[in-house]
Structure 1
Amino acid sequence: MPLEIERKFLIKNSSYKTDSFKVSFIKQGFLNSNKNRVVRVRILDNSGFLTIKGISSSNGTSRFEWEKEIPLEEANELFQLCEKGVIEKYRYYVNHGDHIYEIDEFKGENEGLVIGEVELGSVDESFSKPTWVGVEVTGDTKFYNSELSKNPFSKWV
């Protein structure tokens, strides 16, 4: 079973941009945002993807994830079936130590929110943090994209 293991952090400043080796634009919507099974359609640059994620572990670091590339035209068609609240963001990729950090700079109703994540091979794998990494938000469901689509950052008090 494919398992996603990641840690998420708020990002303190924009210095990650100078370290970035690649930037992509992501648009994603949710066909189902139930916490037990999230079904997402995503367009990453010019490619379409369908992703299913299971419920997170108790500490939020791991969960089942299945993803399949689909034709871009089909991904665009599936957006018509998505729940309200589309996520749009720029993703910056940064090499740091033995890992790649993915930093999401949100747009639209989530403008101003910047979250970085690092994928790991195991829950207890050690990793180094760049200076621009701030407070850890792993497992805090309000920072999940499926939740941000329903309760965007701009509406937080």
Structure 2
Amino acid sequence: MSGNVEIERKFLVASSDWRDEVSQADPIRQAYVAVTDKLNVRVRRYGPDAFLTVKGKAVGITRKEIETAVPVEFVEAVLAEGLFQGQPVEKTRYLVPHKGFTFEIDVFEGANAGLVVAEIELESEESDFPRPPWLGEEVTADHRYSNSYLAQHSWSEWGPPVEPPGGQVGGQ
């Protein structure tokens, strides 16, 4: 079980130039068992693995997070039985190394198709990092781009009507 503090910034993706730098890609399917003002409880299938995660409310770009591996069958049962709020969030996560840092680029599917965001986890709130040319507008403070919000209010309901240029990978 990991218990730690997550310090993360989130950005829109301004172009598809990141595609040539991908080091790994994994499908993610997750759902929110509980979403309150104080915390979120999530189950996630990440590639071949499965996790149960509890995240506290963000303060700035920092939030408490406790995560533990669970049997894949547990997550599949929660999803199959509909024991979650909203709808599952489906995406492919691409890991993109850039000058000693790793960006996680999420290309969303289903009701959130067309949305592409880049996240970077930092050691501290003051940490600086090199910005790749494909990195777009920062949306860390915009709660609509949180996965828990997207599970309740799909991007197709409120996002731009056109697909961002960072969208498709390998003709997907």
Provide TM-score, normalisation by structure 1: 0.95
1:141 match? 143
Runs of 4+ in 1 over 2 A off after TM superposition: none
RMSD (Å) for aligned C-alpha atoms? 1.1
Partner of 2:76: 76
CA distance in 1, matches of 2:116, 2:135: 10
Letter in 2 for 1:136: E
- Listed as ranges, the matches of 1:25-104 within 5 Å are 25-57=27-59, 59=60, 61-79=61-79, 80=81, 81-104=83-106
Alpha-carbon separation, structure 1, partners of 2:142 and 2:38: 15
Aligned partner letter, 1:62: T
Partner secondary structure for residue 124 of structure 2: coil
Unmatched 5+ residue regions in structure 1? Answer: none
Deviation at 1:35, TM superposition (A): 3.1
Residue 75 of structure 1: how far off its partner (Å): 1.1
CA distance in structure 2 between the aligned counterparts of 1:70 and 1:20, rounded to whole angstroms: 27
User: Which AA in structure 2 matches 1:76?
Assistant: E
Counterparts of 1:55 and 1:75 in 2: how far apart (Å)? Answer: 23
> Equivalent residue for 2:118?
116
What is the distance in 1 between the residues matched to 2:123 and 2:63?
13
Superposed CA deviations along residues 54-80 of structure 1, whole A, max 9, x for unmatched, are 0000x3x11000110111011111222
1:5 to 7, 11, 22: 7
Secondary structure of 2:120 counterpart: strand
Instruction: Give, in whole Å, the separation in 1 of the partners of 2:95 and 2:37.
Output: 27
| Structure 2 stretches lacking a partner, 5+ long | 160-172
Partner AA of 1:5 in structure 2: I
Post-superposition shift, 1:84? 2.3
Q: Kindly tell me the number of residue pairs found equivalent between the two proteins.
A: 155
Deviations 1:7-29 (A, max 9, x none): 10000122211100000000000
Deviation at 1:34, TM superposition (A): 1.4
| Aligned mates of 2:75, 2:62 — CA distance in 1 | 26
